[in-house]
Structure 1
Amino acid sequence: MSDKLHFSLVSPERELFSGEVDQVDAPGSEGQFGVLPGHAPFMTTLKAGVVEVFEGDARTRLFVRSGFADVTPQGLTVLAEEAINLDGFDASASKTALAEAQDALIAAEDDHEKEHLTETITYLEALIAAA
């Protein structure tokens, strides 16, 4: 058994992280979970939240919108719908987008549009809180 866990986080745009780490904590759809080297294999969906990567004394925080986590004997792979590295992240644009989405929701008449805007608002609120 290795002393390190291979972790990779990929979004449609690019690979945000790949390397050997000590531990990864992630926001599973059924609750927060942690993965250490030698973890039993499993697969789960992710909800919007922070993936924390621990390597020695260093900690990296990555926000995922949603996705899948796959733990295998080779390591942990996260396939995220959208992912943002929170190190140095400026939430001002997200705050502006949140205000715009809230205004659009008030004016929305179509149920599909309301549902989409509600999902966007929930995502932006979680991102701003994590930042």
Structure 2
Amino acid sequence: MSLTLRVLAPDKNVFDGSADEVILPSTTGQLGVLPGHISLLTAIDVGVLRVRADGGWNSIALMGGFAEVDSNEVTVLVNNAELGSAIDRGAAETEFQKASSAVANMEGQPASPEKVKAQQLLNEARARMQASKTSD
């Protein structure tokens, strides 16, 4: 028995296929889903979704959204997503370094919309970098 996984962004169908196991980056921590999992609805954080299929693991960078598990079907609706295998590893690492520097430069400053935006960009860059490294 396997799961059916669908990852949908507003402008594209990122993934649609079967999986033996799915690990979701929920807002309350990592959530593993195996066949026969109880039905649930959860918020998805910026992070990396991991998919085990055909004995190997693949990754998808997610930019927040929701996931529903029901009857061995996992549907993930996100703001944006990208297959780890489609991410340029060097560009993702450079983007992460830039975002890290921007957040470090704002350390000690009072909370501001710019500081929140910089932290969000750092989280997204981290997810892209991690997904690019785990899709081999």
TM-score of the aligned structures, taking structure 1 as reference length? 0.81
**Greater RCO (CA < 8 Å, at least 6 residues apart):** 2
Query: What is the number of equivalent residue pairs in this alignment?
Result: 129
Structure 1 distance, partners of 2:101, 2:58, is 34
- Counterparts in 2 of 1:1-131, with a 5 A limit? 3-73=1-71, 75-101=73-99, 106=105, 111-131=112-132
Alpha-carbon distance in 2 for matches of 1:92, 1:61: 17
For residues 121 and 65 of structure 1, the distance between their equivalents in structure 2, rounded to whole angstroms, comes to 12
Give the ranges of 4+ consecutive aligned residues of structure 1 lying more than 6 Å apart after TM superposition.
none
RMSD after superposition: 2.5
Q: More deviation in 41-50 or 80-89?
A: 80-89
Structure 2 spans left out of the alignment, 5+ residues: none
Aligned-partner Cα distance in 2 for 1:98–1:21: 29
Quote the Cα distance in structure 2 between the aligned partners of 1:64 and 1:16. Answer: 10
Deviation at residue 5 of structure 1 after TM alignment: 1.2
Query: Kindly, what percent of the aligned residue pairs are identical?
Result: 28
